[in-house]
Amino acid sequence: MSSAIPASRPLVRGIPSPKEAIALAYKGQPLLAGAGLFLLLATIPTLAAMGLDGRTLNGIDVWIKPLKFEVSLAVQLLSVAWLMLFLPERQGRLVRGLAIAMTAAAFFEIAYIALQASRGEASHYNVATPVAGLMYSLMGLGAVVLVATSGWIGALILRRGETSRPIVLASGLGLVLGSVIGSLTGAYMSAQTGHWVGGETTDAGGLPVFGWSRTGGDLRVAHFFGLHLIQILPVAAWAGAAILPSRLQKPAIIAVAAAGSLFALAVFVQALSGQPILGRG
């Protein structure tokens, strides 16, 4: 018997309260939910460190990178936990193993990023010493684990889930596409010496919140939009259920998936040409 949630639950038909959202995440996958909430709580001491520590790296506060990754990884883990509500038999050994791998990779990533921030040193692109080079390679392996496990779970949803429901189709498709595009753009970016293409090699003066370069190309843009198809497609399906007739909901999901993928490709090409997504170029 399927243990996926019925269409009448809050995740599908309306916006859940914070308490309901947490309960749904724990129902989907307790380990991922707990890890995601822990990373959100970890932003509190990180914000405190920002207020007490005036050091900078690449033109910005040394604690901005840990803060961004805490939020990003929390969103990733919580999103997968919620979407696993659409996976029948989600308590199986394989799925638990994937959740453990995701959590371990996320915690390793944030631990090393925070450690390097405390030292005032870069975590990414830092190959100044053999140890730093090894740790950077291990971070790359951790990133591969994060996206590969997310994509695997998406494939399981598409294979075993009730994909006649648009929200289930969108969830599986979003996990697969987000993982594929996120991994490809991330792999290319990690093979470079920095995320800038042309322009000033500093994060100072970047776009608010995101920090993307406004003087040249920035490879992080395509990685961001590709990876966040994991959230975009389910949200699009939820919105489509409210405004579209049933016969148009699945075609709309396919259209959003294609448009999102093409947009990620377009901003990737734009970055390679040395042009910022917004700015003077």
Residues 44-79: pLDDT tens digits? 999 999 999 999 999 999 999 999 999 999 999 999
Q: What is the mean pLDDT of residues 252-257?
A: 97
Q: Is the pLDDT of residue 161 over 60?
A: yes
d(CA 226, CA 180): 8
Give me the pLDDT at residue 148, please. 96
The per-residue pLDDT of the chain, averaged, comes to: 93
CA–chain centroid gap for 58, Å, is: 23
Could you tell me if 256 and 233 are in contact, meaning their C-beta atoms sit under 8 angstroms apart? yes
Give me the pLDDT at residue 249, please. 96
In the chain, what percentage of residues exceed pLDDT 70? Answer: 94
- How many Cβ atoms sit within 10 Å of the Cβ of residue 233? 29
- Model confidence at 2, in pLDDT bands (50, 70, 90)? very low
d(CA 158, CA 173): 7
Q: What angle do CA 15, 21, 27 make, to 5 degrees?
A: 130
Give me the pLDDT at residue 7, please. 40
What is the end-to-end Cα distance of the chain in Å, rounded?
56
Give me the pLDDT at residue 14, please. 66
Which residues lie below 8 Å from residue 79, measured CB to CB, with a gap of 6+?
230, 231
Task: Output the 3-class SS for the chain.
Answer: CCCCCCCCCHHHHCCCCHHHHHHHHHHHCHHHHHHHHHHHHHHHHHHHHHHHCCCEECCEECCHHHHHHHHHHHHHHHHHHHHHHHCCCCCCHHHHHHHHHHHHHHHHHHHHHHHHHHHCCCCCCCCCCHHHHHHHHHHHHHHHHHHHHHHHHHHHHHHHCCCCCHHHHHHHHHHHHHHHHHHHHHHHHHCCCCCEECCCCCCCCCCCCCCCCCCCEECHHHHHHHHCHHHHHHHHHHHHHHHCCHHHHHHHHHHHHHHHHHHHHHHHHHHHCCCCCCCCC
User: Which segment of 10-14, 177-181, 270-274 scores lowest on mean pLDDT?
Assistant: 10-14
Q: Which two tokens stand for residue 148?
A: 């590969």
Q: What angle do CA 20, 102, 238 make, to 5 degrees?
A: 40
Give me the pLDDT at residue 280, please. 64
Q: What is the mean pLDDT of residues 169-181?
A: 97
What residues pair up with 60 in beta bridges, in sequence order? 57
- How many Cβ atoms sit within 10 Å of the Cβ of residue 87? 26
Q: Which two tokens stand for residue 101?
A: 């791998």
Give me the pLDDT at residue 17, please. 87
Q: Is the pLDDT of residue 5 over 70?
A: no
Q: Is the pLDDT of residue 279 over 90?
A: no
- Tell me the pLDDT tens digit for each residue of 17-45: 889 999 999 999 999 999 999 999 999 99
Q: What is the mean pLDDT of residues 106-118?
A: 97
- Model confidence at 3, in pLDDT bands (50, 70, 90)? very low
Residues written for the chain: 281
Give me the pLDDT at residue 91, please. 76
Q: Is the pLDDT of residue 269 over 80?
A: yes
d(CA 33, CA 2): 21
